[in-house]
Amino acid sequence: MPLYEAIVYLARKQQLAGATVLKGCMGFGCKSHMHTAKLERLSEDLPMVIEMVDSEPKIMAFLPHLDEMVKEGLVTLEKVNVIMYRA
């Protein structure tokens, strides 16, 4: 199972309010290695963003799971103002 799927499934199991996976078409990280959809050999290694939304205590409780799962990448924490959340 791809890492992004494992993270989203775990977030759902932990009953976080929501999670979304976004696939980038181009990017690079701390190693300056370029990932792009233009090069067929690199197109399977595209940048991914997983956004998860919930209360601060639930997000903070989820962070140790990310620490175990994410071996390469960037984890950020942002405060947001939720205007609407409807089923």
How do the pLDDT tens digits run along the chain, 87 residues long? 999 999 999 999 999 999 999 998 888 878 787 777 775 655 567 788 999 999 999 999 999 999 999 998 889 999 999 899 888
Task: Please tell me the distance from the alpha carbon of residue 7 to that of residue 67, in angstroms, as a whole number.
Answer: 11
pLDDT computed for residue 31 by the predictor: 79
pLDDT computed for residue 68 by the predictor: 96
Q: What are phi and psi of 5, to 5 degrees?
A: -65, -45
Burial level of 11, CB count in 10 A (0-12/13-18/19+)?
buried
Instruction: Note if the pTM is more than 0.85.
Output: no
37: number of CA atoms within 13 Å, CB side?
6
